[in-house]
Every structure is written in structure tokens, then in C-alpha cells.
Amino acid sequence: MLSRLNPQQLAAVRHVSTPLLVLAGAGSGKTGVITSKIAWLIRERGMQPRKITAVTFTNKAAREMRTRVKGLLAGTSSRGLTISTFHTLGLNILRKEYSSLDYKAGFSIIDPSDGLVILRELMRSESSADNKFPEQVLARISSWKNAFVLPHQVAGVIAEDDPVSKAAARIYPAYERQLHACNALDLDDLIIKPCVLMKDNPEILQRWREQINYLLVDEYQDTNSAQYELVKMLVGARGNLTVVGDDDQSIYAWRGAEAENLGQLSTDFANLNVIKLEQNYRSMGRILKAANQLIDNNPHSFKKALWSDLGYGDPILVLEAKNEQHEAERVVASMMQHRFQNARGYGDYAILYRGNHQARVFEKILREHRIPYFISGGLSFFDRTEIKDVMAYLRLVANHDDDSAFLRIVNTPRRGIGPGTLEKLGQYAADKGISLFAATSHLALDSRIAGAQLAALRQFSHWIESTAENISTSDMKQAIRQLLDQVAYPDWIRSTSEDEAQAERRMKNIDELLDWLNTDNSESGEPKTLADCVADLVLKGILDRSDDEQQGEEVSLMTIHAAKGLEFPQVEVVGIEEGQLPHRSSIDDDNIEEERRLFYVALTRAQRSLTLSMARVRQRYGETIDCDPSRFLEELPADDLEWQTLGRKLSNEEKVSQGNAALEQIRSILG
């Protein structure tokens, strides 16, 4: 099991005497270390799997870790082992401890779009002049939760000259009250609520410390303050902890990540041991040399230098273009030439960029050349209209107090319940301090809502209640299918689709969603309730939005942020200009260090060869802007760069060399 590990990896696996930080550089085999350590703790140290918890940030990473551990433990049971995301861990804690937070069983998890609906409604009731930024206000509340700032603590963190902060400070308490009234939690609550819970209830804290005997954390540089607080609480003074991270790959400050958490470990755990993984198993030496020299310009709590025994590799190509159109043409032409000369498939190539808007011109050129491509960040499965509708039905069946779910589907399909009726229902519910669903059954409601509309509301409520009762005595999926038939949702799909083929695809999407509903898929082996399944699906939908995967032989197009954790034989990093990378906002905010880390991540995605490109002129907001080369190009080793500047003509020797290479390639293809 350990024979393939290098000495540093082996030391990391076997170290259990003190808290451990594994400083794992890009491509250094960190996942292998984590999974090997889990297997070693179970097989060699005799630790019970149910006492071990490993957390990471994406479902995709958690699935990979579980698969690897099972492979390493062939013949040994891993039953009870927890490998999950941070948010799933928080959800599991809240499922057992919800009553201590004065929540009811079957609470809902709302996604950011539903949170925005709630926030807008709260802000609409105010007349303040600074209530014009609902998206920014919600983001600010989220950042406070990530920083473990509670509603009563915001006075100490708001800036008086910031209207967004002022609005968020007023709305934050009301937003929390509304979530509680709906028996609902948002994504950030899955971290901050367990922290509050264990801080206020020592007996609960002790119970979870006893349950988690050893904790492993992946991608530690991406943790925010609340996540770090949760880790410290669960570990306590025992320090049975291994964290794996790389401060050079900390690129998520915009969503609350704090690279400083790595350095803070040595303060909070005085006996912290640090092991560096510097051998890279991914990239050629020249790529690593460039990456090392670049990142050396950042300050470091822990110094490291990646190295590889895979050979030195080709020079790093730097393409200069007249404008973004010309840049795309040069990059695609260079890629096609490289593919021809090296007999590569399209799936070996990735085009990485700073912002999604940069993809459009590359898509155009790739289509013109009939080159298949995959673009990351498309419409998520859970963002499809029919999926959001059915999820709302599921949420309301599981939690009748979920007002946002009620509002989405009370008139979907159309059943004559218009905005006026819903406004009257909302006012009645507000007056009585109850949910919209509960209000539909009140006898006094008929004094405010006319007979036909009231009958439609009560018929809808009857369907929901009947389904909830049926689920307790029948198959879960069958009960939901019956509900959808009762409300004529399949007919609604057909009437709102462009053609029968589209309607069929949408119904298949619903079938796929319902296939995920089951009662026996929990880690503990205990059957899950509908509320459990729905909460898992909502969380999956939120976390999997960036987990779309390439299908077949296609060129990959994605942001650098989306590329983190991935690797490709050939990488093209485009738009290497001041204002683009580093981004203008980062220059203005003096946040160059994170932009440098972002470029470092881009470089270290490449396995064999690397191309960088820049444009001299670019269109921004309808204006033509002169562009300067990124400062980061000057920080790369000049001797390892091969510049192809504007107007440069090939020498006779280069022409002959390229011609011979092409002929040799043809001969190899023909056999």
C-alpha cells in the first residue's frame, strides 16, 4: 500500500503524534497521501473507520477520495468512514442537533437564488435609499457568515461610508429571522450554525469530538474563518489532525478563503509538524522552473520549490497578437500545428482565461475550424427550469414552511392563482406569523380571498399534504411521480417545450432527478427521510455547479479558477496583459499576490508544453484599449521563453525544420 510513496509522502502518512501540515505543491500527489493515510490508520493503526473524517471542498474530490480508499482497503471494511465536503459535514451535524438551534426536523437548504428572493422581499418593505443592491447585500451577509460574524457583531465591521454594508447590517437580522420562520438554512449556515451550536453547548462539542477521533482536511488554503473555527472545535487539544494545502494555490479570497489559515496553524497548534511535498509528478522541468521563479515574488510562510524528474521539456511559447480576434486565431493555429506534429487528441488541449467573457472569440474560431470543444461553466443540471420546479415540489412536501418553494410552484402549472391572490395570502400569513402553506388552511382566509382562488390554493395544499402522508407508507419516488401527475406537470412540460423531443429530454431530466431519491444510501446505513434526500440534492446542486466534466475528445475552455485541480498535456493561457491578468480590480486594490498565485495555478496545469498569449489592443466596454504585457511575463525566466512577436518571419532554418517535422509526422501516420 505504501510502496509507491516517496520518503516525504511516506513520512506524512505515518505521522500521527502531533498535528500535521502537509505543504503539498501542485502535482505532488496530495490526494494519494490523504487516501493512503486513511487506509493506513484503519489497517495498520486499527482505527475504526467511523472515527475518521476527511473533508474537502467539492463532491467530485470527495468521490475520488472514497474510490481510492476503497481500492486501498480491498478486503478490509471501510463502513462508517466519512469522506465529504465541509458543507455535508455541517449538514450531518445539524441533522442530529437541529433542536438545540430551535429548528424543526425536515429543515430546508436554500440555494443562493432562493436566498436572493427572500432578501429582495425584505428589502422591498424598506424605503431606505441604500437598499438598491440586493445581490451585493446578500454577498456581504455571506462574507460575514464566512468570517464567523453574527448579526449582533456587524456593528464592529461595517464601514459608515459603504451603503452596501449599512444595508446588509440592517437586513442581516431580518434575513436570519425569515430563514428560521421558513425552517430553512442557506449554504453558509451549514458551517456557521454548527460552530455556534458547539460554542454554546459544551456537551454537543464533546459528543462530536468523541465521534471524530481523527480529522483530515484537503485544500486547507481554501478554508474561510468559519471552516477553520469548525476544524479547531472538532480537533480540540488532542490535535489529531492532518491538513493538506498549498499557500501558492490560494485563489479564492473573493469567496472568503484565507490563505493566512495555513500560517495560523503554527500559532494555534504549537507542536505542529510540517512536511513539504516538492516532487512534482505532472509537469516538465522547464514549466516548474517558470512557476517557481514566478511565485518566489510572493511572500511565504513556508518556502518550497517544485522539481520533477520528467525531463526539461520544450520552451514556453509566447504569442503576441494585434487584438483578441488575432489572438484567438494565433492560439488555435499554434494548437493545431502542435497537435499535428505530436499526434495528440483534441482532449489533450486546454485554453485557460481570467474571465468567462474571453471565451467567446475562441469559441468562434474553434467553430470555424470545426474543432470540437467543451466549455466549462454551462447550464448546471440543477439550474434547469424543470429541475428547479420539481425540487421546489420536493422541498415543500418535506417542509411545508418553505415559503420560497411554495411561491415557485403554487401556480406552476397555472391554476388561476395570480399575484393579487398571493399578495393577500402573504399579508394574511404575515399578520398571523405563519407560513404561506399554513395560511391556506385557515378558515378566516375566505374573508380575504375569493372562492375560486381559495379553492385552488386549498386543492394545491391538499396535494402536498396527501403526498407527504403517502411517502411515509409507500415508495418515495412513486409518491412524487403521482403528485406530478396530479398537478398535470407532464402536460405543462409538453406545453412549454419547443417540440416533443425537447419535452422528452426534460422528462428524462426529471426521471434522473427522482432516481436519486432513495431511502438506504446514508453513510451510516440508516434509511433517509425525504427531507434528508432533498437537503442532500439541494446541497449537491449548489456544490456541483462547477463540477461539469469534459465529454470525449474536445478542447477544454475554462477559467483558471475552474481549472484548479485539473491537468492537461498542453495548456494555452490567454490574455496575459496588465488589466486582464493581473485583473484591473486587483491592481486597484493592491492585491497582486493573489493574481500571481492565479497565474501560478495556470502554469502548473500544464504537463508537457505551455503557450502564453497576449493582445496589443483589446475591446473593453465598447472602447479600444491599448494593452501592455503583463508584469508576470517579466517574472518568468527569459531563457525559457520563445517569443513570437508581431511581424516576425521564420528563418530559412526554421522553415526547413518545420517542414521536416511535418513530413516526419506524415510518415509516422502513414506507417
* Active site (catalytic) residues: 30-31, 218-219, 249, 605
Decide: 523 and 54 in contact? Cβ < 8 Å. no
CA 94 to chain centre: 21
The grid coordinates listed for 113 are 437564488
Q: In this structure, what C-alpha cell is assigned to residue 545? A: 455547479
Q: Where are the alpha helices (DSSP H) in 590-651?
A: 592-603, 631-634
535/525 Cα distance (integer angstroms): 17
CB 291 within 8 A of CB 249: no
Instruction: Compute the residue count for the chain.
Output: 671
3-state secondary structure of 188: coil
User: Do residues 351 and 556 make contact, with C-beta atoms less than 8 angstroms apart?
Assistant: yes
What letter would DSSP give residue 314?
P
Burial class, 30, CB count within 10 angstroms (exposed 0-12 / middle 13-18 / buried 19+): buried
Residue 525: beta bridge partners?
none
> Are β-strands 108-110 and 82-85 bridged in parallel, bridged antiparallel, or unpaired?
unpaired
DSSP notation for 353-386: ESSGGGHHHHHHHHHHTT--EEETT---GGGSHH
The strand ranges marked E within 52-130 are: 52-56, 82-85, 108-110
CA atoms within 13 A on the CB side of 55: 23
Cβ atoms of 662 and 656 within 8 Å: the answer is no
Q: Residue 480 has which C-alpha cell? A: 412524487
CB-based contacts of 655, cutoff 8 Å, min separation 6: none
